[in-house]
Amino acid sequence: MCFNRRGAESAEGIDKSSIYSLRTGREYADPSKPPVLVVELKKREPALATVSDPNFVKSCEDHSLYRDAVGLTNNPKNNGILQYLDITKVKPECLASYGLVFNGDFFQLWRRVDGLIIPMTTIKRVTKTSLPKLLKELTKCLQAPPSALVTAIWNRKGGVAKTTNTINIASCLALAGKRVLLIDLDPQNDLTTGIGLKANFSPDYFDRAYEKIQLQEIDSAKEIIDAAIQHKTYPTSDKNSFKLSLLSSNKDCLNNINSNSENAHPPYKIFNDILNLIRHDYDYIFIDSSPKLDKLTECLLCTAEAILLPIDVGGRSLTHAIDLSQRVIPEIQAMRNKDKADSFTLGPWNLGLVFSNCPTNIGINIDNEIKKIIEFKGFTGKQVNVHLINYAQTKQAEFQAMPVVCWHKSQISKLFHDLTKEVFLGHNYTNR
């Protein structure tokens, strides 16, 4: 079934003409009002009702009923929500922003941003406490405009081109017409200087904005943040142009955040409240931080919805990335789930590993060593197909403090566009 945003302004206002079963294969009742939510309903499965709580999620993941509902199988009789969120298969006027799979035992809420489809929740058991939370999240989905996808491109290993990737993926999205905001949480300000801007020298704007939030003066808080955001337009070699927005700060401000002791308002909660002021102004928000696991990085990991893990062709960065995927990210997800009393939307969801700074020819020996590490670590997550080659144009762009995609015919520019399409703009989904 599908729900239209306009019909969801009140409980009485739901447009019943826009609700239908996905399995009928019918067009939406009113294409002039694009759907917001598609729902796949399934009958109860007695076997799932008897599964213990610790084994429930794994049992659902392995069950054909759940896999059909999501669209993880090729069963033509059960297209699942993924197929109805797929930009390559569904008419633009029929695409929804959210999808929900539901039966009497489990549910899961999903989100679509362009071609990327990610979960908003883990698989949840239907209980007296989980259902009200689901209804609350559904109300947000139906009534509020879609918010920016908050993404981090990060690894604990330095020198893996995380800042370069952030700048150029953001630029590719901006060239595609998306509203993009960059947030620099690295005291070295490499992201800020990398796009030719200067760090913001009003170090107290975080504190001033949060004071306004505590006083419930939300409009005033937003004015403070909006005033701190810088904007810059970049020309391209084919006479095109694109704009990036940046929220930066100086070292004093970031050091103050990083040294702040744990209290009723830890840094990541303050940062999330500030981020909520501007989520609806952009399509994508990218956060850059240092490789250190400090409070600034905690802000990044505790607010991001998705994370892309850059690695170079080396064992150490690959090992760090796999450890992040298998241990750190699940720990962050568990902490966020425990921390949110009124909500259970989760992240960051792992978009996969992307090889950066690659030589033009990795060679079969190195490739075999990479496969050995992946097999030894038991890594089963995604690996991005596009590999970023270490071309000289990247360094040229760095010296000129501009995104390398400004040179639209360069080989590395094409690779960044292909990477952006594979991860964000083309059909892609992740559930881990």
What are the sequence ranges of the domains in the chain?
Answer: 2-143, 149-429
**pLDDT above 70 covers what percent of the chain?**
85
What pLDDT was estimated at residue 182? 97
Q: How far apart are CA 426 and CA 19, in angstroms?
A: 27
Q: Taking a C-beta distance cutoff of 8 angstroms, is the pair 81, 22 a contact?
A: yes
Q: Which amino acid is at 248?
A: S
Q: How far apart are CA 289 and CA 271, in angstroms?
A: 13
> Nearest Cα to 122, choosing from 112, 134, 104?
134
Q: How far apart are CA 149 and CA 163, in angstroms?
A: 18
Higher pLDDT, 278 or 328: 278
pLDDT confidence tier of residue 14, bands split at 50, 70 and 90:
very low
Which range among 2-16, 73-87, 131-145, 255-269 shows the weakest confidence by mean pLDDT? 2-16
Higher pLDDT, 370 or 31: 370
pLDDT confidence tier of residue 382, bands split at 50, 70 and 90:
confident
Q: How far apart are CA 55 and CA 177, in angstroms?
A: 44
Q: How far apart are CA 224 and CA 307, in angstroms?
A: 28
What pLDDT was estimated at residue 3? 52
Q: Which amino acid is at 338?
A: K
Which residues, 6+ apart, have CB-to-CB distance to 52 below 8 Å?
none
Higher pLDDT, 76 or 106: 106
Within 10 A of 127 (CB to CB), how many other CB atoms are there?
10
Which range among 6-10, 131-135, 282-286, 399-403 shows the weakest confidence by mean pLDDT? 6-10
SS3 call for 407:
coil
**Where does residue 328 fall: left (phi above 0), alpha (psi -120 to 50 degrees), or beta otherwise?**
alpha
Within 10 A of 333 (CB to CB), how many other CB atoms are there?
17
SS3 call for 145:
coil
- pLDDT one-digit tens code per residue, 185-222: 888 889 999 999 988 766 678 888 888 999 999 999 99
SS3 call for 189:
coil
Q: How far is CA 294 from CA 300, 317, 415, in A?
A: 10, 19, 32
Q: Which amino acid is at 113?
A: V
Does residue 11 register a pLDDT over 70? no
- Across the chain, mean pLDDT equals 84
- pLDDT one-digit tens code per residue, 222-271: 999 999 999 999 999 998 999 999 998 766 666 666 666 555 577 888 88
Q: How far apart are CA 381 and CA 309, in angstroms?
A: 11
Which residue's structure tokens are 């007695």? 46
Quick one: how far is CA 128 from the chain centroid? 29
SS3 call for 341:
coil
Q: How far apart are CA 421 and CA 411, in angstroms?
A: 16
Superfamily of domain 149-429: P-loop containing nucleotide triphosphate hydrolases (3.40.50.300)
Q: Taking a C-beta distance cutoff of 8 angstroms, is the pair 120, 111 a contact?
A: yes
Half-sphere exposure of 305 (CA within 13 A, CB side): 24
Rg (Cα) of the chain, in Å, rounded? 22
Pull the structure tokens for residue 183: 């947030």
Question: What count of residues does the chain have?
Answer: 432
What pLDDT was estimated at residue 376? 86
Quick one: how far is CA 263 from the chain centroid? 28
Q: Taking a C-beta distance cutoff of 8 angstroms, is the pair 251, 147 a contact?
A: no
Whether the full predicted model's pTM is greater than 0.85, yes or no, is yes
Which residue's structure tokens are 């939406």? 28
Q: How far is CA 303 from CA 89, 150, 240, 300, in A?
A: 31, 7, 33, 6
Quick one: how far is CA 271 from the chain centroid? 17
